[in-house]
Structure 1
């Protein structure tokens, strides 16, 4: 499947942000799926992505931690590319004494933003996400500090990641939310019942991460066989149930063969077909995979083909939670009422 000559630009949300129709998730460049990749190779890949029209770069201060933002900053500086890209980064997750901690207090929000700006070497973050919701603090308090950062010109647009529908509504009432980033793929569809309709009602764009099932929908069991020490997928419940879940990949791969594309392209095309307000951010560290991912934009699916794909990975077929940290997802992102914060 050939790559399209031009990756189109689309409006993400209703607040004015324009991005490439497909983004680039940069997390794996700095570890998490094994060792960090060679810096020069990753800078070259980022430059290749931008030249190919993929200008929506996704990172976080948690990736590395910190080193992924530094990498992107170097890539932009070396190429003089700041004006050609839309940078999305995140705050809110820290490792404290070997444990994950979620923070959304105003002091931390500001400190995190200032630190990200410095690492990225930029004056303003295009899209700044709350990476996970601090359920100890009213979302209005966290959003209040983000609103100040927008007013100060340090952030253009605000996003949420793994937030519940009610949290999205409360946050949006303080300052318009431009995008919500959640896991969404053929085998991770739990956001469709409430989160997607809420976003569409409020004019919020949707940014699916892991749209190829963390690589499983691209290569199936081979992904597990090739995992090395340090790969966070080793503890993923879905990958621990690979013998059961391999059937999903086999069916997707068989349909892809019929259509003349790769399994990864077919899985990614399914996400693209979910709506014009959906901008997936597949991550990769390999040029061939990146070029394949762009090719997904040229894969067209009929309504019958979409239904067939969805039947392969229905909730009663896939075994295991979508990640080992479900306690940190939208399912428990309810925060205290603002009144409790004011009276404390």
Structure 2
């Protein structure tokens, strides 16, 4: 069984290192699909690292906000931001109901739909994200069902990330991870060694020639002739740039590294899928080798396509606070965000 992982639009280089640019959120929860083979290289290694180092740990959920009241039910609390004023023609932000005591309580469409894991994940969103999600539902840009399934998909991704990083490894996973660490060390050594000297010298000369032609210190005719000669040098030197020189791995080792990645994530995924999170949080009857159902993944895509943005590590905090059966709760990380946000108090 193989797993294909896509990291939320995060840009990663060929060494598997994460760059500073992450388009969607700090958690970068992976979308995990279960049949296509892994054909990637760099960003797949980032996920492998999370299995061993718990660099992706810190994700979980609470059933209520710190203020003790759900921001979807009852009066607004200090942890709840009021949604923008509705425009003409917009759906009302909430439907009024009456409690047995006669008090009027407003319950939004989303509030009526949220249950289980999705409700817990919602409680960990910052107030701005809560308001945005409510508005998308109330204005009809996404259905309440899609909002719930999309949140559940994000929640399961976050829980899987934490499980992959914190759950004790099996004997098979430990052996595979040890071998992959050897491959990773070889890659690191190759990157530190850099390009062959002949190649770097030719590239340096090419840069200097281009600058000389630009500032007019040599004639165009001479520059063209020198450029042709340098291209010949570079072509000859590039023959030294084999796969093993650049990556530190032979083709066979690279293939084995990817096979071991499948072994580890196949095992982690199967173990995670066997956890019982409750009937209300199982999208389908069969959860073998599945983290999210297709419906949940599709709903998440529609949610973000409609404009929902998650620009904090709210899902990491959700997962850290979630009591995963057999694992318990994790360590709550401090708030992080890509921009100033209003967080729950």
TM over 0.5: no
The structure with more strand, counted as a fraction of residues: 1
TM bin (shorter chain): under 0.3
Who wins on radius of gyration, i.e. which is larger?
2
Q: TM-score, normalised by structure 1?
A: 0.23
Higher relative contact order (CA 8 A, sep 6+): 2
Q: TM-score, normalised by structure 2?
A: 0.23
